[in-house]
Every structure is written in C-alpha cells, then in structure tokens.
Amino acid sequence: MEELLQKIKNVCSSYIQNGKVATYIPELAKADPNEFGICTISLDYGISGVGDYKKSFTMQSIVKAIILLRALEDKGEAGVRKLVGVEATGKPFDAFNYSDQDLKSEHINPMINAGAIALCTLIDGENYRDKFQRLLDLTRKISGNPDLDIDEAVYKSEKATGNKNRALTYMLKAYGIINEDAEEVLDCYFRACSIKVTSVDLARIGLVLANGGNDPITGERIFDKKHAKYINAVLMTCGMYDGSGEFAITVGVPAKSGVGGGIMAVVPNRMGIGIYSPALDKKGNSCAGIKALELLSKELELSIF
Ligand code: GLU
C-alpha cells in the first residue's frame, strides 16, 4: 500500500501548482502549498501513510461531519431534519430565480456553513462552551486521539474576520431558523473549524464512518449505525462543496473537504482516507488531494457505483 501511495504522491505533486492556499482566513494563508500527506487505514491492511501525513492542520469544514453526528446523537434524526434539510441545492426542479425565496430549513444542508452553524444549536449542553466541549470530546473519541485540540491562532483569526458567517447566522435568525445568540453560536462553530488534526486522524474518523460507527481498532461502538448511514449519504451528495457531483463520478465515495487543505474520505466497509494538501481549487477543494483520491479510487476500485 505504501508503495502505491508513494506513486500517487509523486504524480499528484504536479497538481499542487493548479491551486492556491486559502487566504480569507488570514492565518490559513501561512500554510505551505507544497506539503502533501496521505494516510489510509483499511480494515484489511491496517495503516499506511506517506509524505506529510503526520503534519497537523485545522479541520475547517470537515468538522461539519462531526457536528452533524453530534446533533444526530443528541436530538435524533427527526430533530435534525426539523432544522436542516439534506438536499444539495434545496431548490425546486423548475427554479430559475433563486433570489426571491424565503430561507427555510429545507433550503440548507449540514455541509454548508449555514446548515452547520444551525446544527451547533442542537448540541446538548448548558452553554456554548459545554456544547463545543462535547463536540471536541466526540472528535477525540472517533479519531482515537485524546490529544486533539484547537489551533488558537486560526480560531482567533477566523473569529476576527468571519463576517460572512456572521451574516449567514443573522440570516438564520432573521428567518426564525435559530433563535440563539449569534456570537455564542458562531464561537462554537469557529472553535469547531479550528480543531487541529493530521491525515491519520482523518483516516481514522473515515474508518469509523466506513465501519458503521463501530471502531474496528478498539472494537468499541461509538455511535449508531443508522447515523453513519445518514452522514455518509449526506457526504456523498454534499460533502465536496459545489464539486460533489464531479467527485461522485471521478472518485465515487463519501468525503468531506475543508479549506485548511484536508479531505476525509469514507470507503464503506473497506477503509478511511485522510489527505492534507493545502493548495485549493476554485471550489475550495484540495487540488492534489482530489487527484490522489481519483487515482486511488481507480487503482483499488473504491467507487461505490
Ligand atoms: N471555517 C471555514 C468557514 O466557515 C470553513 C470553510 C470550509 O472549510 O469550507 O469559512
């Protein structure tokens, strides 16, 4: 496996130049675009990694999968569906004018910022510190890494500049989707996005999702199988931003990317994959990361289709 990953890394290095590191969160602009790491943890072959697979970076949008899981475990499927839909666009089949609609829960999904911010309100906890702590604890548990924590500099950088997310949160309030204090909710969301992981952590999270919520390494059931099914389905249709359709064709597995350069992929009943390569394409997905998944999927016939 390592030989194959090394071969893939060599091919993918040239794709780095097609992308740019995210700069809208100032702290993320410091990332080195030339870094590349990939790790797979498979049910059959165990763990393999090459390149910068032990390098840590912030989860960013990848944490949306865990926010969804936390909300599902705390409030159940019905509670989650009441607040946030599951459709990639949330638009009717004959819609061409998107601008004059009310914002409704069915218009947003858990993998876009508005959906993930709304779902933070469903996490059990006395206050937003408690809610975030429960989210962090779950992330530590699924990744099998009790040392996970946030990157303070990235957290502060996004909190200071995240006005688009503020606007989205006030939209959610304006349309009555949430009623909570916007800054409190956002603080939980910004902290969540700043959780630092390595490609190994992402591969382990992917592995647990691939194995229906049961950690095959410890044998412990971490969450309900039906929630793994729900999350994997949403990742498949909405996990790679506005590139999810293309990704379904070229790679064909549930996955989530983040603007920190990470991708977490779930190969049901087979393996979890974690990738780090911070040069992003225009849609916000790691250029070399997507290429690596494409090659790996072809080589190992990973597509679920
Ligand atoms: N913290 C980032 C934001 O909300 C996450 C975006 C992403 O990774 O897509 O802007």
Ligand 1 pocket check for 193: Cβ under 6 Å: yes
Q: What is the 3-state secondary structure (H, E, C) of 75-105?
A: HHHHHHHHHCCCCCCCCCCCCCCCCCCCCCH
Integer angstrom CA distances of residue 99 from 82, 91, 95, 103, 241: 23, 11, 10, 10, 20
Which portions of the chain are predicted below pLDDT 50? none
258 lines ligand 1 (CB under 6 A): yes
- Residue 61 CA to ligand 1 centre (angstroms): 5
The confidence score (pLDDT) of residue 44 equals: 83
Look at the pTM and tell me if it is higher than 0.85. yes
Q: Is 239 in the pocket of ligand 1 (CB under 6 A)?
A: no
Q: What are phi and psi for residue 189, nearest 5 degrees?
A: -65, -45
CA of 4 to the centre of ligand 1 (A): 31
Residue 45 confidence (pLDDT): 75
Atom 4 of ligand 1 has which residue's CA nearest to it? 113
User: Is any ligand 1 atom within 6 A of the Cβ of residue 150?
Assistant: no
pLDDT at position 97? 60
pLDDT of residue 96: 65
Residue 231 contacts residue 209 (beta carbons within 8 Å): yes
d(CA 130, CA 12): 41
User: Which pLDDT does position 89 carry in this prediction?
Assistant: 80
> Is the C-beta atom of 161 inside 6 A of ligand 1?
no
Q: Is 259 in the pocket of ligand 1 (CB under 6 A)?
A: yes
Ligand 1, atom nearest to 162 Cα: 10
Which residues are tagged catalytic? 61, 64, 189, 241, 259
200 CB-near residues (< 8 Å, 6+ apart): 39, 41, 47, 49, 53, 54, 274
Residue owning the nearest CA to atom 6 of ligand 1:
61
CB of 165 closer than 6 angstroms to any ligand 1 atom: yes
Q: How far apart are the CA of 43 and the centre of ligand 1, in A? A: 31
Ligand 1 atom at shortest distance from the alpha carbon of 284: 9
Residue-level pLDDT at 235: 98
Ligand 1 atom with least separation from CA of 61: 8
